Chains A and B, each alone.
Chain A
Amino acid sequence: MNKAKKRVIPGFGLSMGVTLAILGLIVIIPLASLVLFTAQMDFSEIIEIITRKRVLASFYVSFITAFIASLINAVMGVILAWVLVRYDFPFKRVLDGMIELPFALPTAVAGIALTALTADTGAIGSFFEQFGIKIAYTRIGITVALIFIGIPFVVRSVQPVLEKLDYSYEEAAGVLGASKAKIFWKIIFPEIRPAIFTGFGLAFGRCIGEYGSVVFIAGNMPYETEITPLIIMSELQEYDYTSATAIALVMLLFSFAVLFAVNIVQARSTKILKGGNK
């Protein structure tokens, strides 16, 4: 692609200029002000803030609920992608379209709808109530909201890979007498594994930072169901920008780490795809 050519196409200066100007105003300056603000804080102060018991508890709640939700989405995502690619059935396109709903539906709306459904009086909540299981205002509720948010990620990253997968290997394995399960685990799964991981990582990153759908269903009990974004929010409402920034920093570093891991996996899998001779 990047052959050293002379630039015959016009507009490099203009397009680059506009790009950098808007990028600077919207993204770089605001992020820089976060760095600037952090630079004014003492390191020991940051450590003190982020090791408060209530903050640590929120890290744990955010992490564990996002992790479980993304794990469930990874499994369901593969099944959904498989069904959508390999099978034909009535209303398949409706199902396919619905997958995108969490992207289109405002998170606050999803939040109050799920809360109404899973509260003691709701259709699902009252059913589980009989068994003594509470969903809304518990960590289960947070997980449910995060499952909703994360549904599209794994489906949409696995689907294109499954679509491109060559049938001939499966056929060959079938002719050689391999069982369906064996074909899936030995031939298909290794091919879609990087895509599953990418989808999982993206969903996980999104869930860690999710706020809108979770605040309503979480109940927001300190130590129990208080997620990290909510702690940042309540610090901000008390105009304690220092604490908010310190906690936000931890979240930022964590989500960059997740993104970095996803990028490494993606880079490796595109190398394999482009290498061709597998």
Chain B
Amino acid sequence: MQENKKGSKAVKWILISICVIFVFFMLILPLITVITEALRSGWETYQKAVTDEYAIDAAGLTIEATVFAVLINTVFGIFASWAITKFPFRGKKLLTTIIDIPVTVSPIIAGLIFLLTFGRQSPIYPWLQDLGLQIVFAVPGIILATVFVTFPFISRELIPVMEAQGTEEEEAAALMGAGGFTIFRKITFPHIKWALLYGIVLCAARAMGEFGAVSVISGHLRGKTNTLPLHVEILFNEFQYVPAFAVSSLLVIMALIILIIRSIVEYRGKKA
């Protein structure tokens, strides 16, 4: 191990202090602010704010969009990483680049492209009208935008793990006559389960909190197309600070739960 001299011990504590101060002011203080502001007018106001009809509706839609994002991206992540890591083919680099596009695109642009695809000036809009499908300014649009912004989250966790594992075990199993699903369930899945769970956690976190893309596509209809983050925005802009922070505190709690799960999963994944 490393041998520390006296001088470097001072350096050590200076650097640690810098980090602690930085993290305290930039990360912990904002969290504390949310909680204290939410409870400023007492527990009863807080309860009223979080059990408000609109807040509950918004929470429902947030959960719905998150569930869809996790489901679709899990299916995509598993199939895509299987195709990418188990087989050689041309254009692999291009495929992985396209998969990564959604995270590099500004959330506002993510919303914009769905507006252009399904909105009034889109060539398929009359067709959607005939079918009676309302996507923009409605729940399907919110779900699509949420899936888009979290698109690579799961495949990105799976691909490196499956690549590191190689293909030999699967090949052996296939040669012995195992079917595709059996191979996946018995051989691949045990290797990737922690990475998969980690990806799902990241995906859920982002899906729950997505603001920009959803804001573009939602049209802000209260009680209909309002997610929790959008509800926070409305309250804040109406100067209803206490309810805004009360609803935010729910999201803070969810964020903390996600962080705890994340560190457990990461710890387990490292051990495995």
Contacts and interface: CB of A to CB of B under 8 A. Distances in A.
11 contacts: A15-B79, A16-B83, A19-B80, A30-B148, A34-B116, A80-B19, A106-B251, A106-B255, A108-B248, A116-B37, A233-B108
A23 B95 CA distance: 9
Contacts of A210: 106-107, 212
Contact of A104 (B76, B230, B244, B258): B258
Interface in A200-254: 205, 208-212, 215-216, 229, 232-233, 236, 241, 244-245, 248, 251-252
Nearest to B109: A248
Which interface residue of A5, A27, A97, A245 has the most chain B CB atoms within 10 A?
A27
Q: Is the interface of B mostly helix, strand, loop or mixed?
A: helix
B16 A26 contact: no
Given A124-B25, A180-B7, A236-B216, A18 B79 contact: yes
Contact of A252 (B105, B236, B259): B105
Interface in A2-44: 2-5, 7-12, 14-16, 18-19, 22-23, 26-31, 33-34, 36-37
Interface in A81-119: 82-83, 86-87, 89, 93, 95-110, 112-114, 116-117
A124 B28 CA distance: 13
A28 B98 CA distance: 8
Interface of A: 1-5, 7-12, 14-16, 18-19, 22-23, 26-31, 33-34, 36-37, 76, 79-80, 82-83, 86-87, 89, 93, 95-110, 112-114, 116-117, 122-124, 147-148, 151, 167, 180, 205, 208-212, 215-216, 229, 232-233, 236, 241, 244-245, 248, 251-252, 255-256, 258-259
A248 B108 contact: yes
Contact of B87 (A7, A26, A258): A7
B186 interface: no
B41 interface: no
Residue of B84, B144, B212 with most partner-chain A CB within 10 A: B212
Interface in B214-272: 215-216, 228-230, 232-233, 236, 241, 244-245, 248, 251-252, 255-256, 258-260, 262-263
Nearest to B78: A15
Interface stretch (B47-55, B126-134, B189-197, B203-211): B203-211
Contacts of A256: 104
Contacts of A211: 106-108, 211-212, 215
A10 B180 contact: yes
Interface of B: 2, 7-8, 11-12, 15-16, 18-20, 22-23, 25-31, 33-34, 37, 72, 75-76, 79-80, 82-84, 86-89, 95, 98-102, 104-109, 111-117, 119, 121-123, 144, 147-148, 151, 163, 167, 170-171, 174-175, 179-180, 183-184, 202, 205-206, 208-212, 215-216, 228-230, 232-233, 236, 241, 244-245, 248, 251-252, 255-256, 258-260, 262-263
